[in-house]
Amino acid sequence: MQARVIALTGSTRDAIQYVAEIIGHRGLAMKARLLRGTALAVLLLVPALADVTGKWTAAIDTQIGVQNYTYDFKVDGSNLTGRAKSQFGDTAITEGTVKGDEISFVENLDFQGQPLRITYKGKVSGEEIRFTRQVGDVATEEFVATRAK
């Protein structure tokens, strides 16, 4: 195969360089678009933390009757703290987390002089949280809490 050498005039060299620069810029623009698209896809795939900060109320049908609760949640990143108030007392919320639309925490209640660990797991949907709570080794209860108005 024989190589041909072509002598380019100044204007031809300038034109080729101009076209090469345009192609290079288009490549950068395409890379930038690809990067923006990838970043958007990642943001859409990562679930946003549910906004549960504030007061929530629930009437829980239990073995010992209906218990009326008010939860006052505070969220810092994925950490959940606050208070759980019922006719049995006002207790701190511990071990709380919020991950996407899932919430979990523990209420360590003193029930008639005995410690009682109540573990909550819930799923947030708008102005409701659908909870399942494990009351010691005694009962599992499902209920819905709604944001207080």
Q: pLDDT truncated to tens, each residue of the chain (149 aa)?
A: 555 555 555 666 666 666 666 666 666 666 666 666 665 554 454 456 678 999 999 999 999 899 999 999 999 999 999 999 999 889 999 999 999 999 999 999 988 889 999 999 999 999 999 999 999 999 999 999 999 98
pLDDT value at residue 129: 97
Which burial class, exposed, middle or buried, applies to 96 when counting CB atoms under 10 A from its CB (0-12, 13-18, 19+)?
buried
What is the reported pLDDT for 45?
Answer: 46
Strand intervals (E) in 25-78: 54-62, 65-76
Q: What's this model's pTM, rounded to 2 decimal places?
A: 0.68
One CATH from 2.40.30.10, 2.60.40.10, 3.40.50.300, 2.40.128.20 for 54-147? 2.40.128.20
Residues 6+ apart with CB under 8 A from 108: 91, 92, 94, 115, 116, 117, 118
Residue 88 has a pLDDT of 87
**What long-range pairs does 17-24 form, CB within 8 A, spacing at least 24?**
none
pLDDT score recorded for residue 14: 67
β-partners of residue 127 are: none
Report CA dihedral (140, 142, 147, 149) to the nearest 10 degrees: -100
The pLDDT assigned to 110 comes to: 87
Tokens, residue 127: 């102005």
Token look-up 């991950």 returns 99
User: What is the model's pLDDT at position 77?
Assistant: 92
